[in-house]
Structure 1
Amino acid sequence: MIENKNCMKVKSFKLSALAAGVAVVAGTFAASASAETTFESDSGWKAGFNGHIPIFAVLGNYDDPTDEDSFTITTGFNPATLQTNIYAPMQNGLEVSGHFQMNADIAPGDANANFRSRVSEIAVAGDFGQVNIGKGFGIFGVPAIGDNGSALGVGLIGGPDQVAATAGRIGNGYFYANFTPRVMYTSNNLGGLQFKVGVFSPSKVDGVADAEYSTPRIEGNVVYTADMFSLWSSAFTQDVDSKTGTFDDYTMSGVDFGGSVSLGNLNVRGNYSMTSGTGNGVFAARLDPNEEDASQWYVETTYGFNRTTLGVSYGEGEDDINSSANDTDLTMVFARYAATDALTLMAEYTTLGTEGGQGEYDAFIVGAQLTF
């Protein structure tokens, strides 16, 4: 027999793979952590589901590829998400669970292309810590992605024809961890200190048939959390080799440093990343045997009172591959209001600046998110 527990805020069931990782290192969100519907069988198996549905109306003025105004209704940085969690009864001191996540963007014309699974993994926890096996969120850059502005908002928009999830502060504040098959170890909390390390399927450069990837990507981070502040650092490395010598073998790598401080209702956080051989946005963004350097950084301030959070953030991305042609800066001003424990109303103003003026835009955004 399976009983519907309909438990509220059950700690053992996390919001989602992304939101859980963010919540651990980032502190507070404008919306509450949500309720979850759970079921439990007589034999001790448990199942639960949760997720969120974000909807935004975006009015933007874009300079590239043409000077035009555009209106669209879409998801933000996070697509609509349904997370399913299965927990086996504890045996031999081991807590074994399975996690499966489905995601969907809602912009016009994207229903088939962007309904997908970003998480499908097994987690094994015990006195030793936790091991995750399967596809899930990465390690490098994860603490930085916990900013309030992009975690619940829109951030960087690809242009007037944006049809998928937006980019938050990717390339204008942090490097994107992405969802990749991996084996990852997470330590127990050691007096506020916790670390992760993992081996990942290497990311491949699109359209480069001569490249080979004989070793995994290695990622790791360390986070120290106290009552009023959190500090973190993460790093990664991945080799890209040529099978026939058409380009020099090279290494993609990166390191970041960041932290957050909370003083009452005021929170300030920032992050600085340096990458080599991959650009300032995502793994294997290009063939880069010269290992050009890139960097990303942001600073964010939020203030919360009653059920409202106000915030402003600024960040930049710099990439040496084409001199300053790829340098950008992103400013976000945002407000969140928790109308109920499940429904958050949001407003955002975002503006992107570029070194050459191409691709600049400003956008006014209003939206809502149901978190369940």
Structure 2
Amino acid sequence: MASRKKALVATVMAASVASLPYTMARHAMADDYSDLLDILRAKGNLTQHEYSTLLSKHLRHTAAEQDAPARSTRSAAPHAHATQQAASHVAHGAGTSGVSNGYEPGIRFEAAPDVASSSRAEDAATRAEASARSAQKALDAMNQADFVRVAKYVPGKGLTFKTGPVDINLSGFINGFYTFNSPGGGPAIGGGVSTGSSGFDSSGVRNGLLPAGLILKLSTQQQGWDIDAVLGMYPGMNNAKNGAMNANTGGSPVGLGTPGIDFRQIYVTFGNSHVGTFKVGRDLALFGGDAILNDATLLSVGATGSNSAPGNTSLGRIGVGYVYADWIPQITYTTPKIAGVQGSVGIFQPLDEFQFAGADAKGNPYSASSTQHSSPMIQGKVTYEATFGEVKAKIWASFLIQHQQNLQGVGITTDTGHHAAMVEAGDIGAKVSYKGFEGVAYYYRGSGLGTTGLFFDGVAANGSKRDSEGYYVQAAYNITERLKLVGSYGVSNLYLAGGEARTVDPGYLVRRNQSVIGAAYYHLTDWLNLVGEYAHTSSDAHNGSSESDDTASAGVILLF
């Protein structure tokens, strides 16, 4: 009799452990399991009556769920079917007599098993009870707030750890390049990005357009809101030098120096799929943001800017195809995506009109400057994404508006009335992908926007706005799954304002910056990419003077 009871206990425990995940998920199915554990703990075995009562209760629960759609799920049906099969199997193996009062017709119990079967059943019962305790402990541990899990790793998406209700993501990149820059000569041009007037070849071991980066992102959901907090630190490998552009000022290749740390990302977002998303903090701006994110030189060097004293970053295509979007304090709102369309708008910290190009032969600055702001900068963007068979397309357009006040310049007096200027700019871009091919086209135009950086030389010394425009085109093709070739061409133009020649001599002020770039990228591993690149950059002045340089770069970029 004891062996027979052990056999029954083993079989019922096995069925209970097999259904443990379902039992944990559905409290309504927990009575059988709890009762069985109580009986085993109190008595150590089961009588036939006890077994029949528990099994009948289990079958009634299963039948009730099948008859009540409001309480059933797709996963419950297979469980109920498996339970009935297990019950039938137990009944057929336990005795020869039929059972009524809740049992299905045809259930019978056989004679007691032999000694070997009893031993196996007793071992099974012991193992099943231990498994049940272990599974319950695991479930209790996973529900603890201090239990840390690791999400499946996806190359390029960083490492994600889950602790309680919070996801912690760490991602980043590191790059380094050897660059050799050969100047082609020519006079120095105010606001030019070419190093052609330096007169000397230069070698550098430096960062590319990207510095290094370590990005921490915390994500959670609270009361129906998706909340993210992002902290992005971007250190450079070369020595930092104090200047107007802080860590992005040209470097200082002198012993005992230290690299610059650019903590450019500090923001929080909150929202959901119905309301949209709000962002508060410092992040990449809307106007021109997609231009740099789709620029292939983001992963290489492009125009060096200054190779003899490298700063945190090179220029890539900044100033030779687009104006740098920059990382700006902001409060923005992004709509939910509807039929592939999504819009964003925000208020941003207003930036000064900056005199970047220098001065003419008499020492008069080419451009005006400002430090007064009574209203914020406003930016907005709309994007459309769609897939047509194997073709993927993205189109975007953005705008920028800022009122520059209290302009200062050698040609601005109380009589001119040019103490303020309304800066306006807009852009449009498109990206198309088809199998191994990818193409990007981008165009911008501004009034008072300037060139290279936001509001760099955008207003003449007499207070009048200068128009500017530029574009770049880019084509990439994956020859193999690992090897990609890229070619691109870009131009940035800055036009003179009306009457400014009467105030200063704008002859050596930059009129055009342009570059031709070709690169090869080899995907060595999920993390590591090898890069080789050639760039020809030139700058032209309004008086016809020009300078140019050639740069060869080779290095690696690691992204995790």
| Shorter-chain TM band | 0.7 to 0.9
- Which of 24, 33, 37 aligns to 2:159? It is 37
Query: Which SS does the other structure have where 1:154 is aligned?
Result: coil
The correspondence of residues 174-213 of structure 1 with structure 2, limited to 5 A, is 174-206=322-354, 211-213=371-373
Indicate the residue corresponding to 1:142 in structure 2: 289
1:279 aligns with 2:450: yes
Matches of 2:380 and 2:538 in 1, distance apart?
A: 32
AA at the equivalent of 2:468: A
Matches of 2:394 and 2:370 in 1, distance apart?
A: 43
AA at the equivalent of 1:40: K
> Is the Cα–Cα contact under 8 Å of residues 272 and 297 in structure 1 kept in the other structure?
yes
Matches of 1:97 and 1:179 in 2, distance apart?
A: 18
State the structure with more CA Rg.
2
- Which of 309, 315, 331 aligns to 1:167? It is 315
> Is the Cα–Cα contact under 8 Å of residues 7 and 36 in structure 1 kept in the other structure?
no
- Which of 142, 152, 156 aligns to 1:7? It is 152
Structure 2 unmatched ranges of 5 or more: 1-145, 186-195, 241-250, 252-256, 356-367, 497-505
The CA deviation string for residues 226-281 of structure 1, in whole angstroms up to 9 with x for no partner, is 12211111110000111898542101221111112222211111101001213122
Matches of 2:394 and 2:492 in 1, distance apart?
A: 23
Indicate the residue corresponding to 2:548 in structure 1: 360
Indicate the residue corresponding to 1:83 in structure 2: 215
Indicate the residue corresponding to 1:128 in structure 2: 275
Offset, 1:35 = 4.2
AA at the equivalent of 1:296: G
Offset, 1:136 = 0.7
Matches of 2:235 and 2:178 in 1, distance apart?
A: 17
> Is the Cα–Cα contact under 8 Å of residues 2 and 39 in structure 1 kept in the other structure?
no
AA at the equivalent of 2:453: V
Matches of 1:210 and 1:58 in 2, distance apart?
A: 36
The CA deviation string for residues 188-212 of structure 1, in whole angstroms up to 9 with x for no partner, is 1111111111100001135888641
Indicate the residue corresponding to 1:350 in structure 2: 535
1:234 aligns with 2:398: yes
Indicate the residue corresponding to 1:337 in structure 2: 522
Query: Which SS does the other structure have where 2:490 is aligned?
Result: strand
Offset, 1:176 = 1.1
* Number of residue equivalences: 347
Matches of 1:237 and 1:358 in 2, distance apart?
A: 32
1:313 aligns with 2:493: no
The CA deviation string for residues 133-168 of structure 1, in whole angstroms up to 9 with x for no partner, is 001110001122233422211112113323220111
Matches of 2:295 and 2:530 in 1, distance apart?
A: 14
Q: Hey, which of these two has a bigger chunk of strand by percent?
A: 1
The CA deviation string for residues 14-35 of structure 1, in whole angstroms up to 9 with x for no partner, is xxxxxxxxxxxxxxxxxxx514
Indicate the residue corresponding to 1:53 in structure 2: 174
Matches of 1:209 and 1:271 in 2, distance apart?
A: 29
> Is the Cα–Cα contact under 8 Å of residues 271 and 299 in structure 1 kept in the other structure?
yes
Indicate the residue corresponding to 1:299 in structure 2: 473
AA at the equivalent of 1:317: S
In terms of mean alpha carbon deviation, does 232-241 or 281-290 score higher?
281-290
- Which of 225, 236, 241 aligns to 1:94? It is 225
Query: Which SS does the other structure have where 2:465 is aligned?
Result: coil
Indicate the residue corresponding to 2:76 in structure 1: none
The CA deviation string for residues 297-336 of structure 1, in whole angstroms up to 9 with x for no partner, is 0110100131111010001111013477331211110111
In terms of mean alpha carbon deviation, does 189-198 or 320-329 score higher?
320-329
Matches of 1:276 and 1:195 in 2, distance apart?
A: 23
TM-score by length of 2: 0.59
Q: Hey, which of these two has a bigger chunk of helix by percent?
A: 2
Q: Over the residues paired in the alignment, what is the CA RMSD in angstroms?
A: 2.2
> Is the Cα–Cα contact under 8 Å of residues 451 and 457 in structure 2 kept in the other structure?
no
The CA deviation string for residues 43-85 of structure 1, in whole angstroms up to 9 with x for no partner, is x122121100011110110234432111111111111000001
- Which of 252, 258, 274 aligns to 2:429? It is 258
Q: 1:273–1:209: structure 2 CA closer, same or farther, 3 Å change rule? A: closer
Q: 1:306–1:210: structure 2 CA closer, same or farther, 3 Å change rule? A: closer
AA at the equivalent of 1:74: R
1:71 aligns with 2:71: no
Q: 1:287–1:319: structure 2 CA closer, same or farther, 3 Å change rule? A: closer
Matches of 1:116 and 1:365 in 2, distance apart?
A: 24
TM-score by length of 1: 0.87
Query: Which SS does the other structure have where 1:151 is aligned?
Result: helix
Give percent identity, aligned residues only: 24
> Is the Cα–Cα contact under 8 Å of residues 149 and 332 in structure 1 kept in the other structure?
no
